[in-house]
């Protein structure tokens, strides 16, 4: 075993802290621990808030994409329906349906205006 130097023995005895200073040091240490825990707690809280906001943003983004897809699908369906309406309203189709399916006949002549034969002067006189 190694012999200790005499100065070292005095160092250990001089190193002891009086009771009053010990309480002050403990208070300082506890304050330091509490500040550290408070800071860590705040950082943890803000991280949780950030994660929650990020999750909400992702959810809203997903919902927005679904709505955009639905709008595009409805626009395509609307365009297809407009094309179908245009096909059904063509004069040739109306004429064919009226004559073949409904048994209608085309008129021999078409009257425009009054049905009596009148002169222009008589027509203006009315």
Specify if 87 maps to a domain.
yes
Give the range of the structural domain holding residue 43, as residue numbers without chain letter: 9-101
Quote the CA–CA distance of 23 and 121 in Å, as a whole number: 125
Specify if 69 maps to a domain.
yes
Specify if 65 maps to a domain.
yes
Specify if 106 maps to a domain.
no
- Give 10-residue mean pLDDT values along the chain (126 residues): 57 64 88 97 98 98 97 98 94 90 83 61 54
Q: Tell me what pLDDT residue 107 has.
A: 78
Specify if 113 maps to a domain.
no
Specify if 108 maps to a domain.
no
Specify if 37 maps to a domain.
yes
Q: Tell me what pLDDT residue 11 has.
A: 58
Quote the CA–CA distance of 97 and 88 in Å, as a whole number: 10
Exposure b/e, 78-114, CB count within 10 A at least 16 = b: eeeeeeeeeeeeeeeeeeeeeeeeeeeeeeeeeeeee
Task: Report the number of distinct structural domains present in the chain.
Answer: 1
């Amino acid at each position: 075993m190694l012999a200790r130097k005499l100065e070292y023995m005095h160092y250990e005895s001089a190193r002891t802290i009086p009771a009053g200073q010990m309480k002050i040091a403990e208070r300082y240490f506890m304050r330091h621990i509490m500040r550290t825990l408070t800071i860590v707690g705040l950082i943890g809280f803000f991280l949780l808030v950030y994660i929650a906001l990020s999750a909400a943003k992702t959810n809203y983004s997903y919902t927005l994409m679904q709505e955009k897809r639905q709008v595009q699908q409805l626009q395509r369906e609307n365009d297809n329906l407009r094309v179908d309406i245009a096909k059904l309203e063509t004069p040739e189709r109306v004429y064919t349906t009226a004559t073949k399916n409904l048994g209608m006949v085309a008129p021999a002549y078409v009257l425009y205006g009054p049905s009596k034969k009148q002169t222009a002067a008589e027509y203006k006189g009315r």
